[in-house]
Amino acid sequence: MALENYRNIILGVFLLLGPELAALALFIDFVSLDVFLLLIEVQIVAMSGYYFHTWFKPILMPIYRLLLNCDPYFFIPTRALVNKYPMVLCHTVPFLILSIICATVAKPIIDMSDIY
């Protein structure tokens, strides 16, 4: 019983100190917490997309062009191509196809006669 009174007092003080939060609490109560969190998630996705295109993409494009010049098997496939051929995703890892080709073409000779 005493804990509930303290909770009510803290809530009252909180609402007195920040009355603008009462409108936020009523809005969250009206739309439910799930929808409110979904709205926050949409804002985060929108802001991350904006920062990706304005900050990270200009930094990553010269690296992408350099990889295109160095690795002949590197490319970023389209979504339709990935849906049709999922194994094409291995081309998105730089130098993976070259290392696979080198490993299959240049097989080392292992002499097992010393062991036995």
Please determine, for residue 2, whether its predicted confidence score (pLDDT) is greater than 70.
Answer: no
Average pLDDT score, the chain: 81
Pairwise CA distance, residues 37 & 28, whole Å: 9
81 and 98 share a domain? Answer: yes
* Residue carrying the six token digits 């290392």: 99
The full DSSP string for 28-91 is HHHH-HHHHHHHHHHHHHHHHHHHIIIIIHHHHHHHHHHHHHH-TT-----HHHHHH-GGGGGG
42 and 5 share a domain? Answer: no
Write down the pTM of the prediction: 0.48
13 and 67 share a domain? Answer: no
pLDDT per residue as tens digits for the range 70-111:
888 888 899 999 999 999 988 888 888 888 887 777 666 666
Residue 111 lies in a domain: no
**Enclosing domain of residue 6:** 1-30
58 and 82 share a domain? Answer: yes
76 and 20 share a domain? Answer: no
Q: By C-alpha distance, which of 64, 66, 86, 67 is closest to 77? A: 86
6 and 39 share a domain? Answer: no
Residue 114 lies in a domain: no
- Sequence letter at residue 116: Y
Give φ, ψ of 57 to 5 degrees: -65, -45
Structure confidence at residue 78 (pLDDT): 92
pLDDT band at 112 (very low <50, low <70, confident <90, very high): low
Number of domains into which the chain is organized: 2
25 and 79 share a domain? Answer: no
Please determine, for residue 5, whether its predicted confidence score (pLDDT) is greater than 90.
Answer: no
Evaluated on CA atoms 71, 74, 75, 81, the torsion sign reads positive
Residue 64 lies in a domain: yes
37 and 16 share a domain? Answer: no
Pairwise CA distance, residues 87 & 75, whole Å: 13
pLDDT per residue as tens digits for the range 18-77:
777 777 777 777 777 788 888 889 999 999 999 998 999 899 899 989 988 988 888 889
9 and 39 share a domain? Answer: no
Structure confidence at residue 97 (pLDDT): 84
57 and 36 share a domain? Answer: yes
37 and 93 share a domain? Answer: yes
